Amino acid sequence: MKDSFINVWCGEVGLSGQRRVDLAGAAHLVLVDGVRHLQPEEAVFEAMLSGWETQQRSRRLAAATIEPRLRLVRRFVGFADAYPWRWTPADLEEWSVSLLSAPESVAYSTVRTYQQAVAMFCDYLVDGRYGWAPACEERFGTHPVQICHEWNTVAHTAEFEGRPGNRPLTRDELQALFDHADEQVARAGELGRKGWVATFRDAALLKVIYAWGLRRQEAARLDVADFGANPAAPELGGFGVCTVRWGKASKGGPPRRRDVCTVMPWAAEALAEYLGEVRPRYGCDDHPALWLTERGGRVSLSHINERFAAYRDALGLPAELGPHCLRHSYVTHLVEDGFDPLFVQQQVGHAWASTTALYTGVSTDFKNRALRAALDRAFTLDEGRQR
């Protein structure tokens, strides 16, 4: 056959001898037979997206993972001005170039993520078990192909591809940030503004992100019950350990859970003050979320970004800094304070020590002290040998 694919269905049994199965997301389960659409191409494309969503949900993937992928595929269709069965590798290449060369170009790691979404969608379409190739061949005289290959996609060759703004804050910068946040609380309170409750919440939120080395989503998804006592630190009361239930997941896996020991008593005091005096003012005692909004929901990731940016700009800090810098600061400051590297790695939930090392940006003073100590030991040892 000129155009062959894994399975060309002929009734219940394909020409390859494999029987059609009712897999979640299969074409024959989402395409409506016997219906003539005014826009058949649009109808088939929407069925493809529906089937792919179903297939991903059957793999227990979260909506937060699926929905961005669907949006990216729609975005690519708009750029290519063609539906999946007419895509070519050149379409992907042109899209990638446009992303990297735009006035506000995206990072290489982001382009790779976009390409991976398109590649996974194509893998789903060309998999003969789902029957999209024969369905498209029958309707449009052509079928989808995989357009993402090693020679036209961004390779993951560097260990670290983070933006330059993802650096640790100096201790002075960090103190200035927290002082500014506290000043906003005091100012709102003096003026009798209702917004002081939210301002206090946000000041406590930023401190918690730093003091427990959290990612934004990990912090936003915290519940009140996620903090508990640590027998090894009874003086911290009910704030000796933080259970992170929404840690960054491995590919295709569920969120990673970890317990983070409290190492900064001042942060436990700030959180206790928020829970005792501020959170009850929201009137949502039955809601499990730690960080509530005026409407009784959880704070969003975008709100965390906006609040951090407002304080950063007010202090004149570099515009490229973001909330993730607080996590970098946590790792760096623990290392500078002499915590065991393995302990730090486990605290932040990194599978590999090399990843934790990439988060570490120790200060020049710390490096100079370490160098001086090493040289003093070397010279002392050398003098002892000479004697």
Residue 153's CB: how many other CB atoms inside 10 A? Answer: 20
239 lies in some domain = yes
Least confident of 21-25, 88-92, 315-319: 21-25
CA distance 342 to 266: 24
| 46 lies in the same domain as 188 | no
The count of domains in the chain is: 2
pLDDT above 60 for 20: no
| 182 lies in the same domain as 320 | yes
274 lies in some domain = yes
Neighbour-count burial of 270, counting CB atoms closer than 10 A to its CB (0-12 exposed, 13-18 middle, 19+ buried): buried
Secondary structure (3-state) at 13: strand
| 144 lies in the same domain as 182 | no
φ, ψ (nearest 5 deg) of residue 59: -90, 10
Give pTM, 2 decimals.
0.63
178 or 17: which carries more pLDDT confidence? 178
237-281 tens-digit pLDDT: 999 999 999 888 766 667 889 999 999 999 999 999 999 999 999
| 220 lies in the same domain as 317 | yes
DSSP states of 196-246: HHHHHHHHHHHHHHHHTT--HHHHHT-BGGGEE--TT-GGGGGGSEEEEEE
| 99 lies in the same domain as 130 | yes
77-107 tens-digit pLDDT: 999 999 999 999 999 999 988 888 867 667 7
37 lies in some domain = yes
Tokens of 111: 């382009």
Neighbour-count burial of 221, counting CB atoms closer than 10 A to its CB (0-12 exposed, 13-18 middle, 19+ buried): buried
| 147 lies in the same domain as 177 | no
Question: Across residues 30-34, what is the average pLDDT?
Answer: 76
100 or 219: which carries more pLDDT confidence? 219
- CATH (domain of 299): 1.10.443.10
Q: What is the extent of the structural domain holding 73?
A: 9-152
pLDDT above 80 for 193: no
Final residue belonging to a domain, choices 123, 152, 181: 152
| 101 lies in the same domain as 188 | no
pLDDT at position 53 is 95
Contact criterion met (CB below 8 Å) for 13 and 19:
yes
Helices marked H in the chain: 27-30, 40-58, 63-80, 89-101, 108-126, 132-140, 171-190, 196-211, 216-220, 265-273, 301-315, 324-336, 341-348, 353-359, 364-386
pLDDT at position 364 is 55
What residues are annotated to the active site? 215, 251, 324, 327, 350, 359
| 37 lies in the same domain as 177 | no
Could you tell me the pLDDT band of residue 159, with boundaries at 50, 70 and 90?
Answer: very low
Dmax (CA) for the chain in angstroms is 98
Question: Across residues 6-10, what is the average pLDDT?
Answer: 37
Final residue belonging to a domain, choices 277, 293, 325: 325
| 176 lies in the same domain as 146 | no
* Beta bridge mates, 13: 10, 19
Final residue belonging to a domain, choices 97, 121, 152: 152
CA distance 96 to 108: 10
34 lies in some domain = yes
Question: Across residues 101-115, what is the average pLDDT?
Answer: 79
336 lies in some domain = no
pLDDT at position 227 is 97
Sign of the C-alpha dihedral computed for residues 120, 150, 358 and 202 taken in this order: negative
What share of the chain has pLDDT > 90, as a percent? 60
Q: CB under 8 Å to 118, separation ≥6 — which residues?
A: 72, 73, 76, 92, 147, 148
132 lies in some domain = yes
Secondary structure (3-state) at 143: coil
pLDDT above 60 for 362: no
| 215 lies in the same domain as 116 | no
| 313 lies in the same domain as 259 | yes
Least confident of 63-67, 156-160, 275-279: 156-160
| 286 lies in the same domain as 211 | yes
Residue 387's CB: how many other CB atoms inside 10 A? Answer: 4
90 lies in some domain = yes
Could you tell me the pLDDT band of residue 197, with boundaries at 50, 70 and 90?
Answer: very high
pLDDT at position 245 is 93
92 lies in some domain = yes
pLDDT mean across residues, the chain: 84
